[in-house]
Amino acid sequence: MFNSLSDSLDTAFKNFRGQGKISEKNITDALREVRLALLEADVDYSVAKLFIKNVKEQALGEKVMKSVKPSEQIVKIFHDQLTALLGGDNEPLDLTPPARIMMVGLNGAGKTTTCAKLAARLKKEGRRPLLVACDLYRPAAIDQLATLAKQIDVPVYTPDPSETDLVKVAKDALKWADGQNGTLIIFDTAGRQEVDEKLIGELKELHTFLAPKETLLVADAATGQQAVSVASHFDEAVGITGIILSKLDGDARGGAALSMRTITGKPIKYSGDGEKIEDFTEFHPERMAGRILDMGDVVSMVEHVAGKIDEKEAMISAERMQSGKFDFNDFLSQMKMIRSLGPLDGLLNMLPGMKKLKKQIPADALNTDKMKHMEAIVLSMTPKERTRPEIIKGTRRKRIAKGSGTSVLEVNRLLKQFGEMRKMMRSKGKMKQMMEQMGGMEGMGDMLGGGKGGELNMDDLDMSKLGDMSKKFGGKGGGLPF
């Protein structure tokens, strides 16, 4: 998402490198390219025009600092304006009792899955969500919601398949909810391929009866400018209170995300960035602006990693790495942790400047199939072979290759790479050097046992600091070096 826009903006910023100051001429030339990039990314024309106007006014205004290079200053200005365009600060849900959330949107936007994702997230936060199936036109939607609800262990109300009265279903669902000890209810409603008057009429009637605290529009991030007209239509009809962008992990141009907030005036509250239930996060405009400008999103990365990694297991693995006792059992554990983080490609995009560096990384390094092959090879080893890989000679290698469905060449390659890795870990000097380099990242020093003066104590590696890093990076207005 946003890759083409990020590349275009980076090209525009290059015009300022080597410039002594920001002038009307160089800002006009750069903004011409930016305007084209925004339109190509499916940003609404009026939104693109307003954005360019605001950037130009700020760039030529009295706030431009002489102590900062023009190339750095223009990035700061763009970051501020993108953040404003996306909504400023994150806006939480209104969950004061009676907390009812009504989900609306077109067919194919991912409404039903998003209902389950939102319920799972709110449950993780300590709330007791309930799900109600109100899509009476697509029987599969009711079955789908029931399946997802079972998966996340959340109570769900499913109406009789023959029922056609939407308000009656809602009434029955509220009676059912009284005996479920829930703290909020999420209503999944029907969608259409196109917004039509019948759908809108039914939604208005249901909305009037439920009087929900939140009416959330689920919009497919890949819909482009059509998403803006859909958002406007739903807002006029039922008064949406927020937007959830689904499929944000796709290859879409991203214009919908940049347009809907400005056109509707309603905040983007969450985004779905994967197919799994847990691939669902709060939408933070400042963080998203940083990712678009390739400034990274370290806060989200740390939160993501801290939520997926078992700290005790990571500590044990780290201690074994330091002691030089690292074997293939530990290797399996490490791969399991890495795979739990999801696609490495998306994780790397959260690191500053990584979009450029990623082009230099071999494709195999980000290939999850390669990781599966390595895991299959290790699983084909005996417990003794995993503990003592040095005993794996010719006949054993052939057996392992056959058992894992790979070749002897792949087995040899993995054993060689593992041997080099273990040799490096046994070398205290190299290990310390690697840790010191990591300690240079803000917040990493604490996690790696950093002492006074920036020294790193290899015996004090502390994975428990991982969760605290987000607080260091996530200060008010933090994350920018300006």
Please report, in range form, the residues annotated as the binding site for GTP: 105-112, 188-192, 246-249
Q: b/e for 313-334, b at 16 or more Cβ within 10 A?
A: ebeebbebbbeeebebebbbbe
Residue 429, both tokens:
């000097």
Annotated binding-site members: 105-112, 188-192, 246-249
Contacts of 265 (CB under 8 A, 6+ apart): none
CA atoms of 456 and 465, how far apart (whole Å): 14
CA atoms of 479 and 287, how far apart (whole Å): 8
Amino acid (1-letter code) at residue 28 = T
Contacts of 337 (CB under 8 A, 6+ apart): 308, 309, 310, 313, 314, 317
In the sheet that holds 268-272, the strands lie side by side as: 156-157, 129-134, 184-189, 99-104, 214-220, 242-246, 268-272, 280-282
Residue 391: count other Cβ atoms within 10 Å of its Cβ: 10
Give yes or no for a contact between 192 and 199, defined as CB atoms under 8 angstroms apart: yes
Q: What angle do CA 83, 87, 91 make, to 5 degrees?
A: 125
Give yes or no for a contact between 219 and 258, defined as CB atoms under 8 angstroms apart: no
What's the chain's Rg over C-alpha atoms? 26
CA atoms of 7 and 13, how far apart (whole Å): 10
